[in-house]
Amino acid sequence: MLNWDEPLTPQAPRAPEPSLDTSAISTDPGMIPPIPQDILAETPPESLLIVKTPVIAKTPVIAKTPDAVPVSAKPINPDDKRVVNGLTDINQLAPFKYPWAWEYFLNANKNHWTPLDINMTQDVHDFQHKLTLEERHVYENVLSYLTTSDIMAMRNIGLAVMEKMTAPELQIYQARQVYEEAMHTWTYQHCIETIGLDQGEIYNRYRVVPEIHHKIQMCNQRLDSVLRPGIDLTDRDELENFVMAYTFFAGVFEGTWFYNGFSPIFALQRRGLMKGTSEQLQYIMRDEVLHASFGIRVCNQIVLEENIKLDPKMIQQMWEEAEAAETQYAHFLLPDPILGYSAKDHIAQFRFIANRRANKLHHKIPFPGAENALPWLDEQANLKKEKNFFETRVTEYQTGGALNWD
């Protein structure tokens, strides 16, 4: 047996493979190769068997009937693909029905970094010597909320959403998204560790701080409702619940709570503080813009394909509950304003961004009259970084196409 810890040694010459009777094997390239009969007939010693299984007889096993092995299969017609409830072969990527999904995947790969690429030295000094107590409170609690949130984002897309997709080009972007969410969690952990915060205490805050707990609980309820085994999306109620949950995660959770959630730290960055953390969050924000935009597009596509009519009252309620939770959170984070940022700014910006996401989802605008309280926030999402992070960085960071919400 090969051992990773030992150098490779030359292998003994292998005995010739038993010859197969190939007379029944089709020359069709799509034909599944037959399994050698000797392997099928081999059984472990009886002493290793817990339950005795019948020995497979050495009778011909090469399938000869079209029922057992497809002799030919028609190429997939991309028009037959569907986001959910599709019946086309999930293993065949192209031709695409959703070429935009493939473009998202290509663009996502242009925003590649790790938290170790960014210098955090000045942040340690800033946190210890420059931040006020109120600013430390903001910094710690933003990280506390984000660490838990990104784990939920990963579980949602990887465990609840991906498995329900029936077109591979959608799943491939979502697979990248799962990786990115894990990367984001690593980033927060890296910040917490580098600054020297008490990990156990910071990670536990979402359980003991009601304003953080409430937002996490709202996510958990949506997530639990679509993580149950055996969900049948041909059932209209289940399908609508799934679309509502995905809409919540893409439009509210990623589209506003994340997008808006970084801004208190960016406010510090604008004063020359915590610039390393802010740079980390800028890279995360670029990912999140794509996640939210992709999720919204998928939800719209399901609504179109499945002819779903979501209840407008239910949608308005979702936005209002999200606003109420964000308002509580903002007042906890900023009982008093810090220099350049206040709870009032935070809530106003939530409403403004929520309207933008609702518009993309073809919902009625939930907060008419909301104004752009933080016009500088969009600049953070559209970060252009052409430089190398450090001299040691071999490859240039590539920027994606301009990210435009309007």
Please report which residue ranges of 209-307 form alpha helices under DSSP H: 210-227, 236-247, 259-261, 263-269, 275-306
CB of 245 to Fe ion, least distance (A): 15
Q: Given the rule CB under 5 A, which residues bind Fe ion?
A: 150, 153, 181, 184, 254, 288, 291
Count of beta carbons in the 10 Å neighbourhood of residue 133: 7
CB of 287 to Fe ion, least distance (A): 6
Gap between the Cα atoms of 56 and 53, Å rounded: 9
3-state secondary structure of 243: helix
**Helical H segments across 63-167, by residue range:** 99-108, 121-125, 133-155
Quick one: 291 or 357, whose CB is closer to Fe ion?
Answer: 291
Torsion sign, CA atoms 288, 291, 297, 299: negative
Instruction: Work out how close the CB of 105 gets to Fe ion at its nearest, in angstroms, rounded to a whole number.
Output: 15
Report the residue number, 97 or 297, with the smaller CB distance to Fe ion: 297
Least separation in angstroms between residue 157's CB and Fe ion is: 7
Residue closer to Fe ion (CB basis): 112 or 130: 112
DSSP sequence for 353-382: HHHHHHHHTTPPPSSTT---S-TTHHHHHT
Find where tokens 């799943």 sit.
171
In angstroms, what is the minimal distance from the CB of 349 to Fe ion? 19
Answer for the pair 168, 92: CB distance below 8 angstroms, yes or no. Answer: yes
Q: Are the beta carbons of 31 and 25 closer than 8 angstroms?
A: yes
Tell me whether residue 152 or residue 310 sits nearer to Fe ion (CB atom).
152
Provide the minimum distance between the beta carbon of 178 and Fe ion in the complex, in angstroms, as a whole number. Answer: 10
Q: How far apart are CA 318 and CA 360, in angstroms?
A: 16
Q: Give me the residue whose beta carbon is nearest to Fe ion.
A: 291
- Of 242 and 259, nearer to Fe ion (C-beta) is 259
Q: How far is the CB of 291 from Fe ion (least distance, A)?
A: 4
In terms of CB distance, is 157 or 343 closer to Fe ion? 157
What is d(CA 242, CA 156) in angstroms, rounded to the nearest whole number? 11
Q: Which is nearer to Fe ion, 166 or 280 (CB)?
A: 280
Nearer to Fe ion, 120 or 285 (CB): 285
CB of 288 to Fe ion, least distance (A): 5
Q: Which residues of 150-166 are buried (b: 16+ CB within 10 A; e: fewer)?
A: bbbbbbbbbebbbebbb
